[in-house]
């Protein structure tokens, strides 16, 4: 499933194609949304925004198309009324005179007014958005030690959008590695230094991934590995998807395991389980 950085990059691409322009035509695949096609056609699209793993296409009349890609949804930008050859099902199309924004395979699509956004079950429950410039390390650290979250294991906590919006599976592994913690640990098991590292890593790695198109390693390490003729698979992550390879910090072998039904990767030397 795409994580916050990927959704925001997709929103940027969609905004470049359709924001600030009138939607000549809007198509919905679902019958209950059909009445909105005529209501939205001809209206100016004022913005395209990422909200954690969801997206909003905002119109000048106060209506918004909400979508969540879930596991299989995919946005594609094409020339106006040009469709790719695919076995995916088209769920939403927004056309202007030059471009078409096409959403395939997603099933979670709604049309909401501005007031409804405030009470939407998913949007209204989101934690601080790690890609929001206003979100600070101090704010994130407070989330880790709050009564609501401090007793939960990192395996579930770092996937919960109510905790911090935008995290996902690869970011979970990378943040735990930087913090030196294992999935069975909880924030209340950590010392101040670990909490500081976790809070800082949550923001820095998420924003780095957005900026670099999915890379969480530092710019310096990426340059070093590229100079050694390593490919993207080798230099993209610190530990995620690197089972059996050497840790860049201590040379121990990276391990793979499962927590919360999702795979994670860790260094047995740099990360220690709760005692």
Q: Look up 152 and say whether it is catalytic.
A: no
Q: Is the dihedral of CA 227, 233, 238, 242 positive or negative?
A: negative
Query: pTM of the entire structure?
Result: 0.91
- Residues 132-146: pLDDT tens digits? 999 999 999 999 999
Domain ranges across the chain: 4-125, 137-266
Q: Look up 268 and say whether it is catalytic.
A: no
Question: Which entry of 6, 8, 51, 53 is annotated as an active-site residue?
Answer: 53
What CATH number belongs to 4-125?
A: 3.20.190.10
Closest CA to 155 of 190, 187, 132: 187
User: Would you give per-residue pLDDT tens digits along the chain (275 residues)?
Assistant: 678 999 999 999 999 999 999 999 999 999 999 999 999 999 999 999 999 889 999 999 999 999 998 878 899 999 999 999 999 999 999 999 999 999 999 999 999 999 999 999 999 999 999 999 999 999 999 999 999 999 999 999 999 999 999 999 999 999 999 999 998 899 999 999 999 999 999 999 999 999 999 999 999 999 999 999 999 999 999 999 999 999 999 999 999 999 778 899 999 999 976 65
Question: Which entry of 21, 162, 262, 263 is annotated as an active-site residue?
Answer: 262
Q: Look up 242 and say whether it is catalytic.
A: no
The CA–CA distances, whole Å, from 107 to 42, 71, 74, 144 equal 25, 10, 11, 33
- Residues 192-228: pLDDT tens digits? 999 999 999 999 999 999 999 999 999 999 999 999 9
Q: Yes or no: is domain 137-266 CATH 1.10.8.50? A: yes
CA distance 268 to 12: 38
Burial class (CB in 10 A: 0-12, 13-18, 19+), 183: buried
Q: Report whether 73 contacts 103 (CB < 8 A).
A: yes
Question: Which entry of 3, 5, 207, 208 is annotated as an active-site residue?
Answer: 3
Q: Look up 91 and say whether it is catalytic.
A: no
166 alpha carbon, distance to own chain's centre = 4
User: What integer pLDDT is reported at residue 134 of this predicted model?
Assistant: 96
């Amino acid at each position: 499933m795409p994580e916050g950085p990927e959704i925001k990059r997709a929103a940027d691409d969609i905004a470049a194609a359709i924001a600030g322009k009138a939607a000549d035509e809007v198509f919905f695949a679902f019958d209950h949304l059909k009445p909105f096609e005529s209501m939205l056609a001809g209206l100016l699209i004022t913005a395209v925004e990422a909200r954690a793993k969801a997206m909003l296409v905002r119109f000048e009349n106060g209506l918004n198309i909400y979508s969540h890609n879930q596991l299989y949804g995919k946005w594609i930008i094409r020339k106006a009324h040009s469709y790719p050859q695919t076995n995916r099902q088209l769920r939403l199309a927004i056309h202007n005179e030059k471009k078409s924004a096409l959403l395939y395979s997603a099933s979670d699509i709604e049309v909401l007014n501005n007031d409804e956004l405030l009470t939407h079950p998913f949007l209204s429950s989101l934690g601080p958005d790690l890609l929001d410039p206003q979100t600070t390390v101090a704010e994130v650290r407070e989330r880790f030690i709050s009564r609501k979250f401090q007793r939960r294991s990192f395996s579930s906590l770092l996937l919960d959008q109510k905790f911090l919006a935008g995290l996902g599976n690869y970011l979970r592994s990378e943040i735990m590695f930087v913090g030196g913690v294992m999935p069975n640990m909880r924030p209340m098991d950590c010392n101040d230094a670990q909490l500081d590292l976790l809070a800082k890593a949550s923001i820095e790695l998420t924003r780095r991934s957005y900026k670099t198109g999915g890379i969480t390693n530092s710019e310096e390490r990426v340059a070093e590995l590229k100079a050694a003729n390593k490919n993207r698979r080798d230099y993209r992550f610190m530990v995620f998807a690197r089972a059996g390879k050497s840790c860049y910090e201590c040379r121990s072998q990276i391990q793979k395991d499962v927590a919360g039904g999702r795979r994670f990767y860790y260094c047995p030397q740099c990360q220690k389980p709760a005692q």
